[in-house]
Structure 1
Amino acid sequence: MSNQSRRIRIALPNKGRLSDTALALFEKAGLRVAPRAERALVADLGSDFQAIFVRAADIPEFLVDGAAELGVTGADLVAETGADVEEILDLGFGRCRMVVATHDDLALSSSGDLPAGTRVATSFPNIARRFFQERGVTIDIASVTGSTEIAPHLGVADVIVDITSTGSTLKVHGLREIDTIMISTARLYGGRSSLSDPVVREAADELSVALASVLRAQEKRYLMANVPRDRLDEVRAIIPGISGPTIVEVLDGGGWVAAHAVVDADSVYQTIARLKGVGAEGILVTAIERLMP
């Protein structure tokens, strides 16, 4: 990063489903939060950034107002505020679905089946209103700030719009999903005005590369194995790697060479089985901290 006289401010969630994972991701990328008092709202983040800890729902407005140049928050919260911010990188964690759900015993198959004036309980009134307007359905919004799934049982609403990860909480409360409004994940955003500053843009781009290298590495493993020299064509087919496996001579190995390659984490066991099938030995698999494209 170019020399700069001030730290770039990054707004991070101060608690909840996004906070701990965001901090862990930044640390893996080499940006550790400096020791701070338990309720401190500001802390150094690496040598170039300053973390500001605020409510995740407030981060979009912080970016618009320029109180922070960059921020990590959920796509659902950005959509709810309608904040004009730039998405820099999808961080992938905190994944959830925003859904429309109703009583199991109501004969509804989609949101289009709702009668006019249906009362909808939600913590996302703006998203809900836009969603139903686009479908020509007139609804009455009941804004709530939590425990949305209990609203139908209390007679507050017939339908809810809420976020869910697995759908299990909805089922426990006798609710059934009838539509998915959006998929939300945590993302790195920037304020448009802030990003017009070349220093901030450069910092954002470099931060994005660093975080993406960690996310990419989480999906991969580094595999090393001793393989028969006369089976290399088969080995290449099994572990093509990023641009082909790295082949290393084994000292006094005779008919053996060492093959190193980056492989997909979710298929590593199958890969090992296939390598053993062509005579591979001494197979070692390790995690990767960061992987650059």
Structure 2
Amino acid sequence: MTQLKLGLPKGSLENATIELFEKAGWLIKPAARNYFPKIDDDEVACSICRPQEMSRYVESGMLDAGITGKDWTMENESEYVLVGDLVYSKVSRKPTRWVIAVAGDSDIKSLEDLEGKKVSTELVNVTRRFFEEKGINVEIEFSWGATEAKVVSGLVDAVVEVTETESTIRAHGLRIIYELMESNTQFIANKEAWNDTWKREKIENIFTLLQGALNADRIVGVKMNVAQEKLEEIVKILPSLNAPTIANLYNTDWFSVETVVSEDVVRDLIPALIKKGAEGIIEYPLNKVI
């Protein structure tokens, strides 16, 4: 049987990715100390690996496709096919940011002030290219982790670090002086796998359903019964992606009205619908919007 070798990111994105796949229709069951989780699809074989290494494995053909960060594909300068962006993270649906930060009481105020200084980061190649393009000479050292603490302890003058909420940076008393880049999650494919008709179709189907699951985030369906004389007034206050669905109820002058709306609208919408005469209102979650 032909199988698609799919890489899933280990670390902070692991749980969010598995939850996204479940919403898209695939049940993945990780096993303790096992890098090959089970998936309820005989056509897919999963491997879990670090996002920092994913693009190299995809480029080499060890994996047919994988989910990683734009930052790490840039860092590795690997060759691959970008299937598409999947904008999600461990805490939000916003891109992460790589920033340059210094100690709160540092005399360094701008990029130019880093001339001749020492910078610590995991994103060595991207950082080196950035400063070379700016014509600023810095000493860059690789960080194995706890990067922010190196500034606090005086081991380096600045760090290039990833952040979503800036909470860790603020907790260490650091100050951001520059935003280097934004990064988001990407679905990438091996070039040979992409040229294989079966694998390409499988990859595209997975991406479509994953994107559909993301599109459904914080969107719900709302369904109700409306008398004919109140229909126009109800429809006027209904938000929807395109237009509400309206169908006659059998042998009555009532209608079934259905729409899709943002979750944060519902708390105000339902009381308004009741006042306008809607009955039998149902709110239901959505797994995918495609």
Normalised by the length of structure 2, the TM-score is: 0.89
Deviation at 1:19, TM superposition (A): 0.8
What is aligned with 2:2?
6
- Distance between the aligned counterparts of 2:150 and 2:135, measured in 1? 24
Asked if 2 retains the 8 angstrom alpha-carbon contact of 1:11 and 1:51, the reply is yes
Asked if 2 retains the 8 angstrom alpha-carbon contact of 1:18 and 1:73, the reply is no
Asked if 1 retains the 8 angstrom alpha-carbon contact of 2:108 and 2:114, the reply is no
Deviation at 1:223, TM superposition (A): 0.3
Out of 253, 268, 271, which is 2:266 matched to? 268
- Distance between the aligned counterparts of 2:268 and 2:84, measured in 1? 31
Deviations 1:90-148 (A, max 9, x none): 2222242111111222354442x324212111111111112222222211102111000
Asked if 2 retains the 8 angstrom alpha-carbon contact of 1:114 and 1:137, the reply is no
Deviations 1:40-66 (A, max 9, x none): 333453121110122222111100100
Deviations 1:230-259 (A, max 9, x none): 3333333332534421223345765x4331
What is aligned with 1:120?
119
| Count of matched residue pairs | 284
What is aligned with 2:104?
104
CA change 1:24–1:176 in 2 (3 A) is same
- Distance between the aligned counterparts of 2:50 and 2:114, measured in 1? 36
> Secondary structure of 1:145's match?
coil
Deviation at 1:267, TM superposition (A): 2.3
Q: Which amino acid aligns with 1:231?
A: K
- Distance between the aligned counterparts of 1:238 and 1:7, measured in 2? 49
Asked if 1 retains the 8 angstrom alpha-carbon contact of 2:121 and 2:159, the reply is yes
Deviation at 1:73, TM superposition (A): 1.4
Q: Which moved more, 1:75-84 or 1:245-254?
A: 245-254
Q: Which amino acid aligns with 1:86?
A: V
The unaligned stretches of length 5 or more in structure 1 are none
> Secondary structure of 1:218's match?
coil
Out of 24, 29, 32, which is 1:38 matched to? 32
- Distance between the aligned counterparts of 2:176 and 2:200, measured in 1? 41
Asked if 2 retains the 8 angstrom alpha-carbon contact of 1:11 and 1:53, the reply is yes
- Distance between the aligned counterparts of 2:45 and 2:238, measured in 1? 42
What is aligned with 2:138?
139
What is aligned with 2:278?
280
Deviations 1:174-233 (A, max 9, x none): 101111122222221112232122222111111111111211122421001233423333
Deviations 1:2-46 (A, max 9, x none): xxx310100112x3111111112112222223x575223334531
Q: Which amino acid aligns with 2:11?
A: G
Q: Does 1:80 align with 2:75?
A: yes
Asked if 1 retains the 8 angstrom alpha-carbon contact of 2:31 and 2:37, the reply is no
- Distance between the aligned counterparts of 2:17 and 2:30, measured in 1? 17
Normalised by the length of structure 1, the TM-score is: 0.88
Query: What fraction of aligned residue pairs are identical, expressed as a percent?
Result: 29
- Distance between the aligned counterparts of 1:265 and 1:149, measured in 2? 37
